[in-house]
Amino acid sequence: MSHRTAEISAAGLAERDLKIAWHSLDTETLLEELHTHPQSGLSSAEAAQRLAEYGPNQLAEAPRRTFLQLVIGQLNNFVVILLIAAALISAVVSYIENEPFIESAAILAIVILNAVLGVIQESRAEQSLAALKKLAAPDAQVLRDGRRISLPASQLVPGDIVFLEAGNFVPADIRLLETVNLRIEEAALTGESMPVEKNATMVLQPDAAIGDRKNTAFMGTTVTYGRGRGVVISTGMRTQLGMIAGMLQSVDQEETPLQRRLDQLGKTLGWAALVICGLVFLAGILQGGEVLHMFMIAVSLAIAAVPEGLPAIVTISLALGMREMVRRNALIRRLSSVETLGSTTVICSDKTGTLTQNAMTVTRIWVDGKMYEISGAGYSTEGEFRLNGEKIHLDDHPALLTALWVGTLNNDAVLERLESSNGHSSFRIIGDPTEGALLIAAAKAGALPEELNRAYPREQEIPFDSERKRMLTIHQVRDPHREDISPLDDQADRRQHIIQVKGAPDVVLELCRYYQTASDQPAVLDEATRKRILAANDEMTQQALRVLGVAYRIVSVLPEEINAPELEQDLVFAGLIGMIDPAREEVRPALEKASRAGVRTIMITGDYPNTARAIAESIGLLRPNQKVLTGGQLSEMDDADLQREVPHTAVFARVSPEHKKRIVDALKANGEVVAMTGDGVNDAPAIKRADIGISMGITGTDVAKETADMVLTDDNYASIVSAIEQGRIIYSNIRKFVYYLISCNLAEILIIFLPTAFGKWLFPFAGERVLSPLTPIQLLWLNLITDGAPALALGTEKGDPDIMDQPPRPPQEPIINRSMQIGVLIQTIAITAVTLTAFGLGLRYEPAAAETMAFLTLSLSELLRAFTARSERYPILKIGVFSNPWMNRAVLFSLALLLMVVYVPFFHPVFNTVALGWEDWRIILPLLLIPSIAAELAKYWMSRRPQKAAAEAGRKRSTL
């Protein structure tokens, strides 16, 4: 570290970094300038200091709307503009007639209050979505304090040592220090359609174009192949992507189809109200009504028709539901997915880590006819090696050690020791669990990876991919010691290299010409031995073990260019390593829950059919009449054949990522709504093609996460089922408050329209004057307080007890379906009838109190009706009258405000109310119960219809 660099002030670092051509520096100078170390990285203290100087590693986003902009957005509404116009006209009339501006001031006050509440609701929704966006932000693998850790990419600072693997998004601009077949897709930055091969050893000219900087990885691009390691040189808006004002959005805040349908519903009601308003206005004028009075009645009708709070309530309900899903380990990245979850009919799930515990443990190793057993579970290094039930001394079984060492050296996982407070140490696996299991098994045999890697340092590698189904590494023989490290030194010396291959047993075996005997010497692999190895592999897979084949080859000279076919020949087959990943305990009940909900589960795995079958049977996924198909069989089918087979298939084994997309297409062609899980780069097409794309949050690559609609933060199948349940609850709650608001608003329309148009016939004793039971201010207060708070409380319902016993909702089913239409009609008639009855009785007995009686009857019947709206099928007594605390608070709040405007004299002239006596309440109380009773009777009648239909179908089946 140079003294000059140490003296640079923190304030000048950012400006200095922009001027340095990092791609033109050699590695030593680069690390010196950034004051970092390639093996230990930055310390936490230094990283915190740099984070304070450079700021978070994130691109600048469009600023949020200001409070004033939110207010203007609330006021920029046709109905609100109509209300303001009405208030101004009322003020002008009051001025001309020298009367107080009570009515106009009240209208404006309520408009402002409505706008403020709307602003608060929108702000909370934006905050909820912003919090979810932070949760969805990508992570990065970083070297800090000498340890490899995962942290949010926003916490990266210049000087951090970052690891890149296939499927990762590059989290910052990075000067590469090490590359192994690293290729990066840079189309987002340079427009180059083909992935660019990177080379960390290159030192370029300072004026090299971005597309020519082969030693640099840029923020926002995607690693498509290989792996690498590098040092962060620029973050945030100082990156190349930031300089061209690129914008990465991890969560789309798009309007959902449901929101669009509801918005269209509001507009339809609004235009219909305008037509009715015009008719009422003309009818009133023709009947001798005053122009101003009829205009205010028309405004009242417009207020009653449009559910102004519906869009805000939908947004808040979706945001709250998404937060609940996060609590259930499912991060929803797109609002539209919440609706689709309720319609899901098929879950296509990975096996490893999703249906199983993702804690692979090596339990069997087969070498030259001998099946060794290994005890111990999980990531503990405690365990014994047994042969035929007897504990063995490993020194007497060198071929077993060779198989273990090959699996350990041909490995990208990291075994990290964790010290506990009680003095016991445990291990944590960083990387692929399958490779981690191999490290643990080797540790049980007495060797840790760092010791083997020092003795046999890796020189080259060809990473594993789903096409080759194997991984190749080349190691230099540097410091072999038979007694400490490896038996391989019997055949190797310091001038030699060891080629090691690990992968699918059948694939590896095809590359072998020899096999390792029990005496640790190679022998020619004849056909009988080949069949014996395949039989052993089949036996292990039938025991639900995942099996890897390991092989090696010792060479004196390596070719100048690393070419897989040239290296992967004449290999020595070392053995079979079998491991198991036990099923998660919570999977079986989750599968049963999904099955009851009409959601079918299909396992799609790259494992062997026997392994997949054993796991599927153990968790109850594979039923006697269902099939297991392999990738080979699938490849032989055309799309029509697959479409016929997929309804009867529960397990697809040995499939490639390309097969996943075909399976999704076949299911969708059969009318299924498909949720597809995936974690790799090649899974992205299938994830995108599915109706609900699901990525693993722990093992998933950044590409898979970015493509997915939902990310599982615990990689657990049970979380998918929980998300489907929550999706159903959210949609059900939206239906509830739409049902509630629409029935209330339609009733209010009739309550204004009928007396105005047909008052002479409805209330002949009232004289010739045009009647309106409610004033505009009363309707505003009703929509704002009585309707709004309970509707919002309906969005917090926990769902019907049997919501997961119902079949999936048809995707094309309208939110206002036939049953809701019937319910809306019943409620509209009931609420209209009781309100007009109260108004008519008031006109006959207490004319001064008639409007107040109508106002109270309508308001209280809607508040009571909110309790019955908590379930579309269950009676209120079964779900519990007071089981939703938010509903209790909302109703009490609305009731208090309602009684305030009736019994506080100050509000009487504002709301045109009077204090009612007991005689008035004797009329109101029985009437306000009628809509709720009608709702409960309608539920009973509607629930009996499916039961009768089912009983009739049963009788017909029994007679056949």
pLDDT, mean of residues 354-383: 87
For residue 418, list its beta bridge partners.
426
Most confident of 35-39, 698-702, 789-793: 35-39
Alpha helices in 181-236 (DSSP H): 187-190
Please check whether residue 386 is in contact with residue 392, taking contact to mean a CB–CB distance below 8 angstroms.
yes
Two tokens, residue 815: 């939110």
Of 824 and 262, the structure prediction assigns the larger pLDDT to 824
Report the pLDDT value the prediction gives residue 706, as an integer from 0 to 100: 75
In one-letter notation, the amino acid at residue 943 is S
Two tokens, residue 616: 């599927």
Packing angle, helices 398-409 and 433-444, rounded to 10: 140
- Catalytic member of 350, 368, 800, 920: 350
Please check whether residue 153 is in contact with residue 140, taking contact to mean a CB–CB distance below 8 angstroms.
yes
Q: What's the chain's length in residues?
A: 960
Two tokens, residue 700: 């998933």
Q: What gap in Å lies between CA 314 and CA 3, rounded to an integer?
A: 60
Provide the sign of the torsion angle of the four alpha carbons 11, 14, 17, 19, taken in this order: negative
**Model confidence at 796: pLDDT above 80:** yes
For residue 140, list its beta bridge partners.
151
Q: Sorting pLDDT into bands at 50, 70 and 90, what band is 484?
A: very low
Report the pLDDT value the prediction gives residue 855, as an integer from 0 to 100: 94
Report the pLDDT value the prediction gives residue 825, as an integer from 0 to 100: 93
Report the pLDDT value the prediction gives residue 489, as an integer from 0 to 100: 47
Report the pLDDT value the prediction gives residue 675, as an integer from 0 to 100: 94
Of 221 and 15, the structure prediction assigns the larger pLDDT to 221
Q: pLDDT tens, 192-218?
A: 656 788 999 899 988 887 878 999 999
Report the pLDDT value the prediction gives residue 258, as an integer from 0 to 100: 66
Whole-angstrom CA distances from 711 to 429, 496, 649, 657, 661 are 22, 46, 26, 18, 19
| φ, ψ dihedrals at 795, nearest 5° | -70, -10
350 is catalytic: yes
DSSP state of 194: S
Alpha helices in 646-701 (DSSP H): 657-669, 684-689
pLDDT, mean of residues 884-911: 91
Q: What percent of the chain has pLDDT over 70?
A: 80
Helix (H, G, I), strand (E, B) or coil at 568: coil
CA angle 468, 474, 475 (to 5 degrees): 150
Q: pLDDT tens, 382-413?
A: 889 999 989 999 989 999 999 999 999 999 88
Could you tell me how far CA 901 lies from the centroid of its own chain? 45
pLDDT, mean of residues 482-503: 63
Q: What gap in Å lies between CA 773 and CA 751, rounded to an integer?
A: 7
Report the pLDDT value the prediction gives residue 2, as an integer from 0 to 100: 36
Kindly state the helix (H) or strand (E) to which residue 364 belongs, with its residue range: strand 361-367
Q: What gap in Å lies between CA 679 and CA 648, rounded to an integer?
A: 26
pLDDT, mean of residues 116-125: 62
Report the pLDDT value the prediction gives residue 787, as an integer from 0 to 100: 74
Q: What gap in Å lies between CA 586 and CA 98, rounded to an integer?
A: 75
Q: What gap in Å lies between CA 72 and CA 81, rounded to an integer?
A: 11
Average pLDDT over the chain reads: 81
Helix (H, G, I), strand (E, B) or coil at 718: helix
Q: What gap in Å lies between CA 299 and CA 82, rounded to an integer?
A: 7
Please check whether residue 667 is in contact with residue 674, taking contact to mean a CB–CB distance below 8 angstroms.
yes
Q: pLDDT tens, 2-40?
A: 333 333 344 445 555 666 889 899 999 999 989 999 989
Please check whether residue 170 is in contact with residue 217, taking contact to mean a CB–CB distance below 8 angstroms.
yes
* Domains recognised in the chain with CATH numbers: 3-61+138-243 (2.70.150.10), 68-127+254-325+724-955 (1.20.1110.10), 330-355+584-715 (3.40.50.1000), 361-580 (3.40.1110.10)
Pairing mode of beta strands 346-349, 600-604: parallel
Contacts of 34 (CB under 8 A, 6+ apart): 158, 159, 231, 233
CA angle 214, 220, 224 (to 5 degrees): 60
Report the pLDDT value the prediction gives residue 310, as an integer from 0 to 100: 66
**Model confidence at 150: pLDDT above 80:** yes
pLDDT, mean of residues 504-527: 93
- Residue 848, phi-psi category: left (phi > 0), alpha (psi -120 to 50), beta (remainder): alpha
Q: pLDDT tens, 546-571?
A: 899 999 999 888 877 777 778 888 99
Cα first-last separation, the chain: 90
Report the pLDDT value the prediction gives residue 709, as an integer from 0 to 100: 85
Please check whether residue 198 is in contact with residue 215, taking contact to mean a CB–CB distance below 8 angstroms.
yes
Q: pLDDT tens, 42-95?
A: 999 999 999 998 889 887 665 666 777 777 766 766 656 766 776 787 677 667
| Sequence-ordered strand ranges (E) for 89-168 | 139-144, 147-152, 161-165
Pairing mode of beta strands 710-712, 458-462: unpaired
**Model confidence at 250: pLDDT above 50:** no
Q: Which long-range contacts (CB under 8 A, 24 or more apart) does 40-44 make?
A: 40/143, 40/145, 40/146, 41/142, 41/143, 41/144, 41/145, 41/146, 41/159, 41/160, 41/161, 42/143, 42/144, 42/157, 42/159, 42/160, 42/161, 43/144, 43/145, 44/144, 44/145
Burial 761-790 (b: 16+ CB within 10 A, else e): eebeebeeebbbbbbbbbbbbbbbbbbbbb
pLDDT, mean of residues 684-694: 88
Whole-angstrom CA distances from 525 to 242, 381, 485, 530, 534 are 58, 34, 27, 7, 12
Contacts of 885 (CB under 8 A, 6+ apart): none
Q: pLDDT tens, 850-893?
A: 999 999 999 999 999 999 999 988 898 888 888 999 999 999 99
Two tokens, residue 66: 């200001």
Could you tell me how far CA 406 lies from the centroid of its own chain? 39
Two tokens, residue 825: 């009609």
Q: Is 68 exposed, middle or buried (0-12, 13-18, 19+ CB in 10 A)?
A: exposed
Q: Which long-range contacts (CB under 8 A, 24 or more apart) does 625-632 make?
A: 626/650, 626/651, 627/651, 628/652, 628/653, 629/653, 630/654, 630/655, 631/655, 631/656, 631/659
Q: pLDDT tens, 925-952?
A: 999 999 999 999 988 887 776 544 444 4
Within 10 angstroms of residue 155's Cβ, the number of other Cβ atoms is 19
